[in-house]
A and B are shown apart, each in its own frame.
Chain A
Amino acid sequence: MAQLTYRASVSLAIAQSMRKDQKVFFIGEDVGAAGGVFKATVGLLEEFGKERVMDAPISEQAILGAAMGAAMTGLRPIAEIMFSDFLAVCWDIVANQIAKTRYMSDGQINIPLVIRTANGGGSKFGAQHSQSLENWSMMIPGLKVVAPSCPSDVLGLMDSAVKDPDPVIFYEHKSLYAFKEEIEQTDLSIPIGEANTLHEGKDITIIGLALMAQRAKDAALILKDKHDINAKVIDLRSLVPLDLHTIKKSVIETGHVMTVEENPRLCGWGAEISSLISEHCFKNLKGPVTRVTTPHVPLPSADILEDNTIPSVELIVNEVIKKLKGE
C-alpha cells in the first residue's frame, strides 16, 4: 500500500502504457527534460529516451497534427497540450481533423490517440489558464471525453484511453495534482463510460466531474453529518461515452437531481444531462433539475473572486439544503 498523488499517477500511468506497448509514444512542450510544467511527467524521458518522449516546440497544431498522422498509421501517441485553454489554438486539428476523419473516410482510418491536458481553475491563473473546457470537446461528434477525479482513476482511465481505438481527450484537473490516495495496485484498468459512485444516498443525486465530483463528495459528507441529508454522488468520469444508465438508476430512487459543473453555465455539460433526465425520468422527478455552475463569466484571478466563481463545497451544501428544504 502506497500513497500516490494525482500528479505522480499521471507519469506512472503514461509509463505503464509505454512499457506495455512499443507503439505508445509521448509528445508535448516541456514534457521531457523539464518533466512537465506541472511535474506530472517526471522521469519519462530518463526511462524511455528521446525517441519516445519528444520535447516539441510551442506549436500546438504541429503537435496534435503529428500525433494524429502517427495514429493514422497505427501508433498510439499521447500528446500533451500544456493548458486546456491552448486547445483553442489547435481546435482545427481537434474538432475538424481528429474528430471527423474516421467518419469522412468511411471507417478507413482509425485515430487511436490521447490528448492530455491540464484543465480547470483553483490556481488563480486568470481567464486564459484556468478554464474548464470539457464541454467544448463534448459537443464534437467523434471525440471521447474523460476527466478523472482521483489518482486511481488517472491510472485506470489512462490505461483504457491509450488502448482505445478512438481519440480521447483526457482532462487532468490542475487543482487535483496534489490530491493523494492510498493505492494497493497501480496496474489498473477502468473502462471508459462507467461512472463511479463517490457517496451513497437516497435523498438526492448529485452529479459531478473531476474536481467538482470531489467537492460534491465533500458536500455529501457535510450534508450527512450536519443536515441529515443522504446524497448520492456520481462521478461521471467521462462525458463521452456517458453512463446514462447509472444516472437514471439513481434518479429513479431519489427524484432530486443536481449537477455541479465547473464550466460556465451556457451549454455546460449539465444542460445535456438535465435534458436527458427530463426525457428519460420525467415521471420520477420531484422537482426541476438544479444546475450549479460557474456563472457565465470569464474566470477572474484574485483569490476572493476566483473562489467565489467556481462552485465550492459550501455552495453545493447550501444549494442542496435550499432545494430539499426550501431554506
Chain B
Amino acid sequence: MNRRRVTVVAAAVGVIAGATGLGVLAMPAGAGPAPVLPDVSAEALVESVLNAKPAAFGGSVAVNNDLGIPVIAGVPQLSDGASTLRMWTDGEGKLRAQLPGGDSERTFVDDGETAWLWDSAEQTVTKMPHGSFEERKPELKPGEQQAAPADPVTLSRQVVAAVQEYSDVTVDGTARVANRPVYELVLTPKPTEKTVLREVRVAVDSELRVPLRVAVLTNGTDAPAVQVGFSELNVGPQDASLFSFTPPAGAKVSEPESHEPTAEDKAAAEKAITEANPQVIGEGWDTVLAARVPQDALTFLAEGQQGEQRGNGRWQEEGEGREVDVQGLLRQLGKPLSGAWGSGTLITTRVGGVLIADDGRVAVGAVPEQVLVDAIGQVK
C-alpha cells in the first residue's frame, strides 16, 4: 500500500512538472540581468553608431506591432501582432531576408549583382538586376546627397544637436537584446513638445555599435506601440550559399521593366506635387505633414486598393467604372470631426493620427487631435 502511495505522489509530481513546463514555455524568454558596460555619453554613442562598419551577421528580427490601426473588413493593412523576419548579411552588400507568413514565405536575396524576390504562395520570382532602380532615386530628391557631410563625426554632432533641440537624449543603462549586451539610447520629447509619443528607445550593440532594437512608446502605456528588434543574432561570417539564389524550376521568373522616367512622367509628378502642395507645419516632435489631395486621386487610391483586394481574393472580374464611396470608407476607419476649418474624418492610432478633410486636405503627425486640427486650418 505504501508503494501505491509513493506512485501516486510521483505521478502528482509529474502532473505538476508538466503543468509547470507548460507555464515556462508560455512565458516570454527572460532577458537576463543587465550587463555591466563602460559608461558612454549619448553623443559618443550616436557617433560610434554612425561610424560603425557593417558587420556580417545572421539572425531573426521580431516585429511587434501594436499601432492600433483601425481594422476595416477585407482591406489589407499593417495588422497588429507579432511577426518575424529572418535575415543574413555578409556586411559587404550581400543580403538575404526571409519573411515567413503562415504557411508561405517570401525570400529576398541580393547576391551583389542581382536582387531576387521569391514568393512561395504564388511561385513567382522577381529578378531585379542592380542598376535598374538605383539611378532613379537621386533624381527625385536632388541635392540631398550633396547636403550630407561626408565626415561621420560632424554628421553625428549635427544629428545629436538637431535631435537635442526638441528632445532629451540620454543613455539609460544597459540591457540584453538577442543575448548581446546593449546600451539603451533614449530619446524623450522635451515637455513643451505636443506629441503623443513618450519616448523612442534604441538599443545599440555595445561591440558592433549597430542598433539591435527600436521601440516607440506612447503616452499612457508601458507596452511599446511598435518594437522592432533582433530576437536572435549570430555575428560572424555567414554561409556564402545563403547569398545566392537560383530560381526553382517551374517558377515564373519576371523582370520588371526598367525605364527612365520620361518627360511626361516628370511633368505629371510635378503637377501632382504642385497640386498637393505638401507642407510641413510645426517642428520637432509636433511636425505635421499637410497636403491637399485631389479628390480624384483619393478615389483612384481607394479603387486601387479594392482592385488589389479582388486580385488577392481570386475574384477575376474587372472592377472598372465602379463607384467607390471614399468618404464612406473613411468613416468606417475614423470618427467624423468638424470645426471652423471645415469637416472631415479623424483616424487615430496609438502613434498619432490622420485628419482628412472632406475637401481633400490631409494632415498627418504623431500628435494629438487638437494639433492636427490646428494644422489643417493652416493648409491653403
Bound pair (A, B): no
Residues of chain B having any CB pair with chain A under 8 Å: none
